[in-house]
Amino acid sequence: MCGIVGYIGKADAATMLINGLRRLEYRGYDSAGVAVLDDDRIVIAKAPGKVAALSERARAEWPAERFSRTTIGIAHTRWATHGPPTEVNAHPHLDQSGEVALVHNGIIENYRSLRARLVGKGHHFYSETDTEVLAHLIGDCDKGNLFQAVCDALHQVEGTFGIAVLSAREPGKIITARRGSPIVIGIGDGETIIASDAAAILAHTQRVIYLDDNDIAIVTADSVDIRDLHNIPVTREIAELGLDAAAAEKGGFEHFMLKEIHEQPDSLANAIRGRLDFNLGSSVLAGMGTSPRELAELGRVVLIGCGTSLHAGLVGEYAFEDLADVHAEVQQAAEFRYRNPILGSRDLVVAISQSGETADTLAAVREANQKGAFVMSLCNVVGSTIARETGRGVYLHAGPEISVASTKAFTCQVVVLLMMALKLGRGRRFSREEGIRFAREIEMVPALVGRMIRQNARIADIAEGYAHNEHAFFIGRGPMYPVALEGALKLKEISYIHAEGYHAAELKHGPIALLVKGTPVIAIACDIPGKDKTLGNIEECRARGARILGIVTEGDQEAAECMDDFITVPRCHPLVATIPAVVALQLFAYHVARIRGCEIDQPRNLAKSVTVE
């Protein structure tokens, strides 16, 4: 979703800002803009489309010296909410005087009433955005102290924001603040970088400060002064990012998605490392912060998330019930707080989020906390809002996931959920030997995924036969049902093929009416309990002329013979098999999208981190 970069330091702010925006491109956006202070005057360049277009525009419109002499500025990638992705709607926005510039992530919910009031005072607006209203409001509040003006304006705002503000009247500082939209400040050597995402900071420094909600900071080249909105100083620790800048590069792969699919043996090994205890037959997940007694007394596990993270939760649901004998259910995060969920202190709520910033999941976490549940998170991004607000949980250690389509985060989420289920299971029903056996299954996961990746070329060939259809169905049952949902999501988001995931038994209750000769049905028919019934459902599809691509277990000749094409998955525990099975579908979706010439890493209309409800 929208991205913010602010820079104040030694030189060449325009180049630094545009490069910073490039590192945020993966988040998904549809226009971009940059404002720098040049000769104590704010100059702005904006462009619809990609950062490359913005860079071209700035270089065409600005004299070359501007690139070498500016030392302070703010920049933005916008994912349109209020008004289409046009140049005029792109950020930064100016106040009425033209001397205060603002970039903003989030939504100002009461912007209409604020705008009406400002129009009454003679303000003139050019864009359709809520952000321009906030820029004018800050300018209107500015009586000679920018920091105070931003505080005063933010007190009048309802909604969410991560902002950076630049004023020609107070050069040498940027004011930044957050409520519900992340801001991280990188502390460099004589330079400070503000960003909505550490990816824009990585190349400059590893030392960062994460703002909390309602923090506001005065940032200079060599200082960061953080206060609350009542001007009371607050202390925030400096954290180490611990991320390698190279991890955010493509490393020779054509797309980040392909790179991230190939990284999975390593990311899974990182997620598992040091977390299996073969002596106790359990897992070591210290971040859960739970005693064996608390785990034994749990009444229910509630898994919440959105999109791919929701699908990981669905696999977790099977794992917790099967391995840990505990009632488990999955709830869509966006719905959670609006349905007044029934929760208590014996309920463990697990919020699953790669980014740790998804607005719906964050709101669900807050609701679960209100209701006194035991809340923990399963995030990838260290220091993200959900990770910090839950205060306990398990990090995925998948490394930066840049492609909008989530791949390695999903498989790491599943493997961590399996380890959580093992831990609970060991406290409730598993013998030591059973625990050790399952721990051995988990230990094998990186190697199993490595074997899937070695089938890349074969899967690319198979994809040729499916890339020219406009509809596809994915079916599975048991833990392969969420795999079918995830396979369909991957295909639709990157190839724009209309794809639906169904429980294999559900097709005949309606969707089968859509099958005609050649309609692709991707059947996850691994050799797990219920496979025979899935094979029966496949026959029903074949009888209607569907073309079947099967995901089958190695050596399962009976299943392979039911398919027009098939990809094999190594034989392993049914819950573990979800991971190699989904890797097959990730590669399939990737190659279909590549053949169709789609823009794989940044699909249209999508954002990596969805920070609006």
Residue 354 binding ligand M6R, by CB under 6 A: yes
Q: Look up 608 and say whether it is catalytic.
A: yes
CB of 381 to ligand M6R, least distance (A): 8
Q: Tell me the window of 86-94, 113-121, 304-312, 334-342 that interacts with ligand M6R (CB under 6 A).
A: 304-312
Q: 413 or 537, CB closer to ligand M6R?
A: 413
**The binder of ligand M6R chosen from 282, 309, 377, 602 (CB under 6 A):** 309
Q: Tell me the window of 218-226, 254-262, 303-311, 514-522 that interacts with ligand M6R (CB under 6 A).
A: 303-311
Residue 304 binding ligand M6R, by CB under 6 A: no
Residue 140 binding ligand M6R, by CB under 6 A: no
**The binder of ligand M6R chosen from 307, 393, 501, 574 (CB under 6 A):** 307
CB of 368 to ligand M6R, least distance (A): 15
CB of 154 to ligand M6R, least distance (A): 26
Q: 19 or 609, CB closer to ligand M6R?
A: 609
Task: Quote the CA–CA distance of 336 and 338 in Å, as a whole number.
Answer: 6
Number of chain residues interacting with ligand M6R (CB under 6 A): 17
212 burial class (0-12, 13-18, 19+ CB within 10 angstroms)?
A: middle
**The binder of ligand M6R chosen from 102, 166, 405, 546 (CB under 6 A):** 405
CB of 402 to ligand M6R, least distance (A): 12
CB of 28 to ligand M6R, least distance (A): 9
87 burial class (0-12, 13-18, 19+ CB within 10 angstroms)?
A: middle
Site string for ligand M6R, 488-527 (x = CB under 6 A): -x---x----------------------------------
Q: Are 396 and 378 in contact (CB under 8 A)?
A: yes
Residue 181 binding ligand M6R, by CB under 6 A: no
Q: Tell me the window of 166-174, 200-208, 354-362, 426-434 that interacts with ligand M6R (CB under 6 A).
A: 354-362
Residue 402 binding ligand M6R, by CB under 6 A: no
Chain length of the chain: 613
Q: Are 47 and 104 in contact (CB under 8 A)?
A: no
Q: 270 or 355, CB closer to ligand M6R?
A: 355
SS3 174: strand
Q: Which two tokens stand for residue 187?
A: 């502390």
Q: Which two tokens stand for residue 590?
A: 């990737």
Residue 131 binding ligand M6R, by CB under 6 A: no
CB of 406 to ligand M6R, least distance (A): 4
Determine which one of 2, 526, 541, 562 is catalytic: 2
Those residues whose C-beta lies under 8 Å from the C-beta of residue 513, and which sit 6 or more positions away, are none
SS3 367: helix
Residue 55 binding ligand M6R, by CB under 6 A: no
Those residues whose C-beta lies under 8 Å from the C-beta of residue 594, and which sit 6 or more positions away, are 254, 255, 463, 600
Q: 170 or 401, CB closer to ligand M6R?
A: 401
Residue 308 binding ligand M6R, by CB under 6 A: yes
CB of 582 to ligand M6R, least distance (A): 11
Residue 358 binding ligand M6R, by CB under 6 A: yes
Q: What is the DSSP string of 226-295?
A: EEETTS-B-----EE----GGGGS-TT-SSHHHHHHHTHHHHHHHHHTT-EETTTTEE--GGG---HHHH
Quote the radius of gyration of the chain (alpha carbons, Å).
Answer: 25
Q: 264 or 308, CB closer to ligand M6R?
A: 308
Omega before 182 within 30 of 0, i.e. cis:
no
Look up residue 38 and give its amino acid.
Answer: D
CB of 335 to ligand M6R, least distance (A): 14
Taking alpha carbons only, the member of 192, 221, 226 closest to residue 207 is 192
Residue linked to tokens 């399963």: 378
Q: 431 or 605, CB closer to ligand M6R?
A: 605
Q: Look up 371 and say whether it is catalytic.
A: no
Q: What angle do CA 241, 228, 371 make, to 5 degrees?
A: 80
Q: Which helix (H) or strand (E) holds 537?
A: helix 531-543
Task: Quote the CA–CA distance of 266 and 598 in Å, as a whole number.
Answer: 27
Q: 401 or 565, CB closer to ligand M6R?
A: 401
Q: What angle do CA 139, 101, 384 make, to 5 degrees?
A: 110
Q: 505 or 606, CB closer to ligand M6R?
A: 606
**Active site (catalytic) residues:** 2, 608
Q: Summarize as ranges the residues that interact with ligand M6R (CB under 6 A).
A: 306-309, 353-355, 358, 361, 404-406, 489, 493, 606, 609-610
